Structure 1
Amino acid sequence: MVTIVNIEAADMEQLAALGEELTGKKPHMPQLKIILDKICSDPNYILIGAKSERGQLLGSVMGILCLDIVGQCQPFMVLENLIVRRNSRRQGVAKQLVGYLEDYARDKNCYFIMLTSLAKRAEAHAFYESIGYAKGMVQGFKKYL
């Protein structure tokens, strides 16, 4: 049984381990604490996790509510950093996390959810398409500063 919860400061070590699994890099823990505190106190962010019955963080995802100035001026959500532990994949964890964010976005009257995924992550792309996200509707660009 998996439970979806809001990530809190007490989850920082497990959240850091998930991030390291995704990027292969150890996070800067003092900075992670600062950022986690900001995210948890900002109503435009939602950071949730999927926990096992024993309290192990199996996955996490962040949603960011964005205001819009065109059309009906409805907000939209950016989905970012969906991470599921390797040994917990293909068990519905990611689907539960994204489903929770989608319900949250609907409650906030969001018009759409958008996300980006690294071009090389074919398995992730297949997952997103399997839950209704359309590939190729937009072209993504990134510039590192």
Structure 2
Amino acid sequence: MSYPIIRSVHHEELAALLELYKHLHQEDDPVDLEQISGLWEEILKDEMMKIMVAEVEGQIVSSCVVTLIKNLTRGGRPYGLIENVVTHSDFRKKGYGRMVLNKAIAYAKERRCYKLMLMTGSQREEIHTFYSRCGFQKGIKTGFLMKMG
């Protein structure tokens, strides 16, 4: 395993991140960089959202997004949501996914989140085991999802 750099995504890495996302949702249509450049700028400026990446030899090989949500309960402490956890298929089972999740967890702790949530659409037990080993517990709450089209 090459030693990775675990960090927040950089401004100039949108194309590399979108390339990595092809390993997450293969069925998604390609995204036009010009069309989403404004959205990218908003994401990068948003202190309540961070995209964590693992870089190996100049390539982004793993990533996750952590979004913090302001909250009026729990003493005003925010809660967090993890989404878009992905590792390039050539780099799986090397610990990079765990590393980016740990970076996201550390960010949520730093921001005083009282909980951090993660949902997966995968039914594969190995994926559930991975998240459990990263500290997430299943069966504590019941999740519901409404697809918005």
Q: Same fold (TM over 0.5)?
A: yes
Among 33, 51, 54, which residue is 2:55 paired with?
A: 51
Contact in 2 for aligned 1:50/1:60 (Cα 8 Å): yes
Residue 42 (structure 1) aligned with residue 46 (structure 2): yes
- Stretches of 4+ aligned residues off by more than 3 angstroms: none
Q: Per the alignment, in what secondary structure is the counterpart of residue 21 of structure 1? A: coil
Question: Deviations for 1:19-68, whole angstroms, at most 9, x for unmatched residues?
Answer: 1111012432234433221110111111121101x210011111111111
The structure whose residues are more often helix, as a share, is: 1
Quote the Cα distance in structure 1 between the aligned partners of 2:30 and 2:115. 30
Is there any run of 5+ residues in structure 1 with no aligned partner, and where? Answer: none
Partner of 1:127: 130
Where do 1:13-92 residues align within 5 Å?
13-24=15-26, 25-29=28-32, 30-52=34-56, 54-92=57-95
What is the number of residues matched between the two proteins? 144
Partner of 1:112: 115
- TM-score, normalising length from structure 1? 0.90
Identity, % of aligned positions = 24
Quote the Cα distance in structure 1 between the aligned partners of 2:35 and 2:84. 17
CA RMSD, 1 decimal: 1.6
Quote the Cα distance in structure 2 between the aligned partners of 1:63 and 1:34. 20
Amino acid at match of 1:21: H
Larger RCO of the pair (alpha carbons < 8 Å, separation 6+): 2
